[in-house]
Amino acid sequence: MGLFGRERIEAKTPEQVMAMRAAGLVVGRTLELLRAQVRAGVTTGELDALAESAIREAGAVPSFPLVPGYHHTLCTSVNDEIVHGIPGGRVLHDGDLLSIDCGAILDGWHGDAAISVIVGGPQAARPEDVALVEDTEDSLWAGIAALRAGESLYAVGAAVEDSIVAAGERRGRGYGIVEDYVGHGIGREMHMDPQVPNYRVTGKGPRVVEGTTVAIEPMVTLGDQDNRTLEDEWTVVTLDGQRAAHWEHTVAVTPSGLWVLTAVDGGAARLSAAGAAYGPLG
């Protein structure tokens, strides 16, 4: 169903949310492992192989190779690549901005998350790239904190946009929020209804219920958000050559609050900082 259609939110039972937490932890721990291995001289293909090994050793399987035509565990997007970058022989250099998107399936349930990092750390980066990574992550958590039972799902995108606009005003720059790619429902499939925009939209939108599980994933650019897909038919890049960042978490709405299924700590620290209720099960 399209973004402005009548989308269905499939509520998960507590037992199903617990199963999704197990899958989410595989993804979260894999991304932590990869973050520690990102350095100059490493190729994106080497990171992909490491991720596949980690996921399979955890008893799960990578989900991205199940997408028709895609054959890798990760999407690795570098600098002006927004999303869906293909791992391979590309060598990373200090100062590169790398976004890593990772998905895994455990016992039939999906987890999906993404991080953005600077190769060589902040000291190797352009100041505007450090700001972009930080502000995009902050917008993710603003969107997560806006996810509440009984409220419109579109509150998520409004919160993401407000966070990015405010950050841009503080820094004296205009960020672009990518509109062509949005978040999504998740469960026994990686991409399900409802779609989750990362920007303010009109209309009431689907109503969030307990048991809602969605992947929220803002993609933000230093310049204009206009983009194109390369000839490989996967890699999406900015038209103006400016850099982009991508952050994502899989989140569940529980009776007592929110549980960030792909965050190793369940989102406790960032939810508390955002004034949102942390609601793990079990």
Output the six-digit token pair for 165. Answer: 């606009």
Q: How many domains does the chain have?
A: 1
Domain-located, residue 7: no
Return the pLDDT at 258.
Answer: 98
6 in a structural domain: no
Query: pLDDT (tens digit, 9 = 90+) per residue, 125-171?
Result: 999 999 999 999 999 999 999 999 999 999 999 999 999 999 999 99
CATH number (domain holding residue 132) = 3.90.230.10
Q: Which two three-digit tokens encode residue 271?
A: 């939810």
Whether residue 245 lies inside any domain: the answer is yes
The predicted model gives 251-269 an average pLDDT of: 98
Query: Does 33 have pLDDT greater than 70?
Result: yes
Question: In this model, does residue 2 exceed pLDDT 60?
Answer: no
Q: What is the dihedral of CA 131, 133, 139, 143, to 10 degrees?
A: -170
Spatial separation of the C-alpha atoms in residues 17 and 5, rounded to whole Å:
26
Question: In this structure, is residue 230 part of a structural domain?
Answer: yes
Mean pLDDT of 241-266: 98
Sequence-separated (6 or more) residues with CB below 8 Å from residue 4? 201, 203
**DSSP letter, residue 70:** -
Q: What is the pTM of this model?
A: 0.96
Query: Could you tell me if residue 257 is inside a domain?
Result: yes
Cα distance between residue 3 and residue 123, in whole Å: 40
Domain that holds residue 29: 14-274
- Which residues partner with 245 through β-bridges? 220
Are the CB atoms for 98 and 124 separated by under 8 Å?
Answer: no
Question: In this structure, is residue 110 part of a structural domain?
Answer: yes
Q: Is residue 146 part of a domain?
A: yes
Contact 210, 281 (CB under 8 A): no
Mean pLDDT of the chain: 96
Is 159 within the bounds of a domain?
yes
pLDDT tens digits, residue range 192-210?
999 999 999 988 889 999 9
Once rounded to an integer, what is the mean pLDDT over residues 28-55?
98
